C-alpha cells in the first residue's frame, strides 16, 4: 500500500472583486480626506484599491500626487526657514512659522474640497500638484 499525499488545495488566483459604485466613491473620497494627516492614507488607498475601481485609482493618484507636492514644499520651506533664521541671527524665526502653517492650511482646505467632490462622484483636480505618479 502506498500512501499518496492529498492533492493541494486549489490556488486562489482570482483577482479581488471590483468595487461597487458607492464603494468606489467612498474610497476615492477617503483618499482625499486622508491628506489632512499626511501622505500615507492616499498611498495606502492607491496601492490597495487602484486595480479595483477606476474612480478610486484616478482620485487616489491625484491625492497622492498632491500630498507628495506638499511634502516637497514643506521640506523646501523648512530649509529656507533654517537658512534665513541663521542669516538673520534668529529674527526670521519670529515670522518663519507662518509659511509651514500656511501650507498646512492650504492642504487642509483643498483636501476637504477634494473629499466633498469625490463623495459626490465628481473628479477633483488640485490647483497645483506635481504629476509624479502617472
Rounded to two decimals, the pTM is: 0.82
pLDDT band at residue 2, thresholds of 50, 70 and 90? low
Helices 40-49 & 54-87, crossing angle to 10 degrees?
A: 160
Highest-pLDDT range among 5-9, 58-62, 90-94, 126-130: 58-62
pLDDT tens sequence across 8-59 = 666 555 677 888 888 999 999 999 999 898 899 999 999 999 889 899 999 9
DSSP letters spanning the chain: ---PPPPPPPP--PPPPPPPHHHHHHHHHHHHHGGGT-SHHHHHHHHHHTTT-HHHHHHHHHHHHHHHHHHHHHHHHHHHHHHHHHHTTTTTHHHHTHHHHHHHHHHHHHHHHHHHHHHTT-----SS------
Contacts of 98 (CB under 8 A, 6+ apart): none
pLDDT of the residue at 9: 62
pLDDT of the residue at 11: 55
pLDDT band at residue 132, thresholds of 50, 70 and 90? confident
- Distance CA(107)–CA(122), nearest Å, equals 19
pLDDT tens sequence across 69-113 = 999 999 999 999 999 999 999 999 899 999 999 999 999 999 999
Of 49, 34, 38, nearest in space to 114 by CA:
34
pLDDT of the residue at 104: 94
Amino acid at each position: 500500500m502506498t500512501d499518496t499525499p492529498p492533492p493541494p488545495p486549489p490556488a486562489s488566483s482570482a483577482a479581488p472583486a471590483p468595487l461597487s459604485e458607492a464603494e468606489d466613491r467612498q474610497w476615492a473620497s477617503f483618499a482625499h480626506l486622508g491628506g489632512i494627516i499626511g501622505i500615507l492614507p492616499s498611498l495606502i488607498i492607491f496601492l490597495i484599491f487602484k486595480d479595483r475601481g477606476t474612480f478610486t485609482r484616478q482620485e487616489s493618484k491625484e491625492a497622492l500626487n498632491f500630498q507628495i507636492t506638499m511634502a516637497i514644499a514643506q521640506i523646501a520651506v523648512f530649509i529656507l526657514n533654517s537658512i534665513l533664521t541663521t542669516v538673520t541671527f534668529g529674527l526670521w524665526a519670529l515670522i518663519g512659522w507662518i509659511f509651514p502653517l500656511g501650507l498646512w492650511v492650504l492642504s487642509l482646505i483643498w483636501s476637504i474640497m477634494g473629499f466633498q467632490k469625490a463623495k459626490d462622484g465628481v473628479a477633483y483636480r488640485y490647483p497645483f500638484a506635481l504629476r509624479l505618479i502617472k
